[in-house]
Amino acid sequence: MKRDIKRLLPVLFLWFSVPALAQTWETVKIDSVVSVILPKGHTSNDTLGQKVYSAQTLFGNIQVVITPDNPRQMPDIEKKKHLLKYYDNYLNKVQKSAKGTVSKERDTLLGDLHVKDFTLTLQGSAGEEIRKFRILHENCATYTFQFFYNALQKEVSEGESNKFFNAIKVANDPAASSQFTSAPATPADVRPNNKLIICSIGGAVLLAVVIWLAMRKRKR
């Protein structure tokens, strides 16, 4: 009985407070290829060619990390099977480093592009935290989309989470071949300005940033 009441509290809070807490979202062009929608008031940081977007929704948080490939560290992705293996390795490294439980893992499509979705459950001081991921490698960069929230707010967070992930768009109908490392990277705004350097930060740095952000959130 107590457990049922606890699960109903967030729903009741949503029912009575949404009219007063309406939040405005806007389209944000991450670069010339990828766009998302984020609540107004979102922040962005650009360090050494890597972009991090952060936003707080009514019932959760959003993070988008874009990291160019490092040719010295990036494995060759010449076919779909190589891309899916890259995604699997990424997931395994995140799980082992964050020490969470992975569920709802699936390889799916964003238009003609291959992406991986999964959910990571973490145990923190504030209780169980749910982190939903979408990983996209395209145009010589890895895009990591996250929506995370406290498990007690699952019922009221699902709508925001679906709204965020369903609004991830890619422009100009890029072909699946643009996800391979042999394909040229065209958008200048996802790379450092030095034209002699295509990508400056590797997958290892991307994972470190994502995991650091996750661990910092858990300590709060």
What is the number of residues in the chain?
Answer: 220
pLDDT at 133 over 80: yes
Helices (H), the chain: 2-17, 80-98, 154-166, 203-219
Work out the number of other CB atoms within 10 angstroms of the CB of residue 201.
22
pTM: 0.76
Q: How far apart are CA 55 and CA 84, in angstroms?
A: 29
Instruction: Report the percent of the chain where pLDDT is more than 90.
Output: 62
Q: How many angstroms separate the Cα of 209 from the Cα of each of 41, 64, 201, 206, 213?
A: 22, 11, 11, 5, 6
Beta bridge partners of 43: 54
Can you tell me whether residue 120 is helix, strand or coil? strand
Return the DSSP state at 58: S
- pLDDT, one tens digit per residue, over 18-59 is 544 689 999 999 998 999 999 999 999 998 788 999 999 999
- pLDDT, one tens digit per residue, over 63-100 is 999 999 988 889 999 999 999 999 999 999 999 999 89
Give the up-direction half-sphere exposure of residue 69: CA atoms within 13 A in the CB hemisphere.
22
List, in order of start, the domains of the chain with CATH numbers: 24-219 (3.40.1000.10)
